[in-house]
A and B are shown apart, each in its own frame.
Chain A
Amino acid sequence: MRTAKLPRWLSSARSSAPWIWAALPAALCASSLGACKWSEFDDLEHETWVGSTEKPDVASSDYGVAIQRGARSGDGGTLVVIGAGQPTYSRLVYSAQGDSSLASGSLELNAQYGIGTLEPQPILLADPTGDDVSLVINSGANSIAVLTGGAQVNLHQVFVTPSTVSAATYMQPPPRTDAAHLGEAQPVQPLVGSGDLVLGTFYANVPTPQPTCKLTEAAAGIDIRALGTVRDGAVDDVLAWGAGGKLYKYPGSVFNGCDTIQPLAPPIDTGFSPGPGSQILALFGSLVVLQGHHDSDDDSFLQVYDVATMTAVGGPVSLPKLRTAAIFTSGATTYVIAGYPTAAVDGKTSAGQVLLFKTAETTGLAAQPAVTLNDAQPESSESFGRAVVAMPFNGAEVVAVAADNEIFVYFQLELADGTMLYEETREGR
């Protein structure tokens, strides 16, 4: 067999062991110069302003079906996250630097409260006057569970048959009217809607029987799909969006119960029949935003109304696939965070996206979103935006978005026009 010829210099260098060992470190040095620095990715990861937290060690298989802001004060921020599959109530605590961790005391709702199933879009409300949140759930056995609290929750039940949860809202109720506690002032508490009834949640000394009130229009009960409030003096009036598409305003006395009650003013026909999961969100003053959608046909409705005059403000935004919304306030400007979790992104079905619409007192919602958010690496069925919220963080508000088993927090946000909605909110950046 013919052997490979070596250059003469190699032949002469053969058996020069020192030469080889001198070449060894040289080769290693050369390799290190050409090597990739994987620490660059750590640096880049540190540079990104979107914090992403994947499902922590909780029992739920579908983490993040609902999110709500936790405590509003202090450094960092807290996010209450509801998981489905195995229903859980847990809190993600964000440090002032933006690092997230699962707070202790996560609740397994089935084991602790006998709640085995959640609605597709569970109602998770934030107490406008405190750090509490309330999860309103059909707990079966003719009862609706209202889990209220922060680090610890307390179970309150309202009893109704059937125990469908149609809507809920925090409200400032009027003083009690039951004989045992007549005239006692009440704190801000959830009002739960079920069918055409509303039920006030009493934290202590629950009246017996528990009061209910049927919301009617011309003696006919309305099928409640969303509840909201608008302040009327010291107490709130109750807003109800019926399945027929009309927006009603009732007195806050409904909290204390009644047989039936007529609207305070003629309702507004929004022209959109809301489906389950629709919302009435207080914007500012007497302005509210109605978020309505149909799961069946992806029709959506987003419109500002002045409930003082019961008139629409501006035009609606009818982009399909809307599922949820929240209010974000930046100084004097208010935005509506709208989640479209089934929207296709980069060809990925149900990857989901979130749009921020700027609002104005006179013109309502801007026709075009101020910014569109989606996962930079979208995946099919990611459901980005299936829950949205403005989370207090380091004294400001940041946008938090829930996706399938992943929570995104935007610690800095730049609008499409290049202006900053808010600068970096994390410390040490």
Chain B
Amino acid sequence: MQSRVVFVVWLALCALALPAYGQPADALKKAQTAFDQAQLDYLQGKYDEAARGFQEAYGARQFPQFLYNAGASFHMKGKKGSDPAAYHSAVDAYRKYLAADPQAADKDKVETVIKVLEDEIKRLKDQPPVATPAPGDPTTTPGTATATGTAAVTPPAPSQEVQQLGDVKPRGLVVIESEPSNATIYVDDKRKGSFATTPWSGTLDGDHKIIIEKRGYTVIEKTIAADPTKLFVLFGAMSQQSFLGWVEITSNVPGADIYIDDKAIGAVGRTPLSQNLKPGRHTFWISAEGYDENKQDVEVVANEVTPIKAPLKGAPVGKLNVTGLGIEDAMIAVDGKVLCERGPCLKGVQQGEHTITVTRPDFKPYSRRIMIQAKTETQIRITLAPTPSRGDAIVAYGLAGVFGGGGILLGLQANKYRDDLRKEIAAGAPPPDSNDPRFNKGKIFAIAADSTFVIAGICALTGVYYTFREKGAPSTGLIDVRALALRPEIGPGYAGLGMGVSW
């Protein structure tokens, strides 16, 4: 394919969509054609043609990036020939670019370039070009114009500042549009929050998943492979779905995780979040670390906006970091509630005093009440001691069972004697006498039963004692508290606060 620009019409710029939206599509196609040609011209060193092509593309669709590319073309022409006029055109195009996109991410960089070029224009005006002598003409010196015109004029070399700017190249462009417009764009994951609204143009490098969503319309998801040298157009023709409801979830804590109906599947996004949802009753959980979870059961009505406000209450948090040998099989609980099903466990815990419990099968539990302070990381390195054998307790319980059983048998026998005697005394045929051996036997059995019960009880209590007594070394934990510090961080694609640890 000759063109180095990929033109993508989403949903086939489908036959249904073409009649309704033909005009914007034509303009986009015109811009696309001009962009393709301009790219070719630029690569062939036809900077004027390239700049005109980008300007023509801008005339068709006002994407600021086209102006930047026009400026880049003039910039390269000026640099190649130290041409003040070309530099001037470049500065003019760059300024239009910044005017068209005041919030451009590279605004500072472009303004620097403009400054450098303006200085270069001034320098070139103050320093006339030098004539280059014809071959064999000894009267001329390089860089000096001759009166006879036999010598070529050599443009002065670009200033060091211009050299340091390097070669500038036209940028690729990703264009995301939808019909209807003003749809919310998410990149890669809704949990990252909304990216922009359609129409949007800008640069994206690499593979991305684009999600376009608008109230009452079907959600569009498309994976794109953005090329920095190409124009990538993603157009979403969204079909209307009036049976869906629209929820707008907001919270006083931006970036709070949002779960809908089933927490097990994970967070579906972060606040603020607006999206379609099937009508009906839904459960929403909004939570953020350090805040109490907000749970709401909300009836979502078709074709209506359902606002959900989730005020989160919270407290300052500190980090709890539980590590240790074999911690991967241990469960960590804070104040009786499971914090991590298995270790290692690094989670935020509200500031205050908490009881940390670490349990692992066949090991003695570790439990300690510690103070979690805000903006600190409390690390506990756990050494769990194996649970000692409870054989002695089992033996004691066994003996208790044996004696208890024996006591029952003896008691039953005593009761049998008692009942027989009582019955025979009442019947009187023959009446037992006062020396009837069953009186003594029954008494002996009763005393033996009671004694056996007492022994069984002692054994049982001994078993209980053996069960609960501490035996062997306890599980231990080495506690280390570190301060967490927040510092500003700026990266190529982000800026914010980063967290570091020092101790």
Contacts and interface: CB of A to CB of B under 8 A. Distances in A.
B390 interface: yes
B457 A31 contact: yes
Contact of B450 (A23, A36, A372): A36
Nearest to B365: A11
A38 B388 contact: no
A209 B421 CA distance: 61
B411 interface: yes
B365 A373 contact: no
A23 B461 contact: yes
Contacts of B429: 414, 416
A406 B435 contact: yes
A312 B437 CA distance: 44
A376 B436 contact: yes
Interface in A1-57: 1-6, 10-11, 13-17, 19-20, 23-24, 27-28, 31, 34-38, 40-42, 44-45, 47-54
Interface in A222-274: none
A48 B464 contact: no
B435 A35 contact: no
B357 to A, nearest CB: 9
B450 A38 contact: yes
A41 B418 CA distance: 7
Contact of A52 (B394, B415, B433, B465): B433
A299 interface: no
B449 A2 contact: no
Which of A36, A45, A54, A406 has the most C-beta atoms of chain B within 10 angstroms of its own C-beta?
A36
Interface in A372-403: 372-377
B430 A41 contact: no
Interface residues of B, number: 53
A2 B386 CA distance: 10
A47 to B, nearest CB: 5
A352 to B, nearest CB: 12
A408 interface: yes
A31 B454 contact: yes
Contact of B428 (A23, A406, A414): A414
Which of A23, A44, A47 has the most C-beta atoms of chain B within 10 angstroms of its own C-beta?
A44
Contact of B394 (A4, A23, A28, A53): A4
B200 interface: no
A36 B414 contact: yes
Interface in B425-451: 425, 428-440, 442-443, 445-447, 449-450
B212 interface: no
Nearest to A54: B435
Contact of A20 (B387, B411, B446, B465): B465
B74 interface: no
B123 interface: no
B389 interface: yes
A377 B432 contact: yes
B468 A48 contact: no
Given A44-B421, A44-B425, A27 B461 contact: yes
A41 B461 CA distance: 30
A3 B421 contact: no
A408 B433 contact: yes
A34 B424 contact: no
A376 B424 contact: yes
A410 to B, nearest CB: 8
A376 B362 contact: no
A51 B433 contact: yes
B453 interface: yes
Contacts of A414: 428-429, 431
Contacts of A10: 467-468
Nearest to B450: A35
A16 to B, nearest CB: 7
Contacts of A373: 430
Nearest to A35: B450
Contacts of B470: 14-15
27 contacts: A3-B386, A3-B388, A4-B393, A6-B467, A27-B461, A31-B456, A34-B453, A35-B453, A36-B411, A36-B415, A38-B450, A41-B418, A41-B446, A44-B439, A45-B436, A48-B425, A48-B434, A48-B436, A50-B431, A51-B434, A52-B436, A53-B435, A375-B433, A376-B432, A377-B436, A377-B437, A416-B429
Interface of A: 1-6, 10-11, 13-17, 19-20, 23-24, 27-28, 31, 34-38, 40-42, 44-45, 47-54, 372-377, 406, 408, 410, 414, 416
Q: Which 6 A-B pairs have the closest CB atoms?
A: A52-B435, A36-B446, A52-B433, A38-B446, A50-B433, A376-B432
Given A36-B450, A41-B421, A44-B418, 16 more contacts: A2-B362, A4-B390, A20-B465, A34-B453, A35-B450, A36-B411, A36-B414, A40-B418, A41-B418, A41-B440, A41-B443, A51-B433, A52-B435, A53-B435, A376-B424, A377-B437
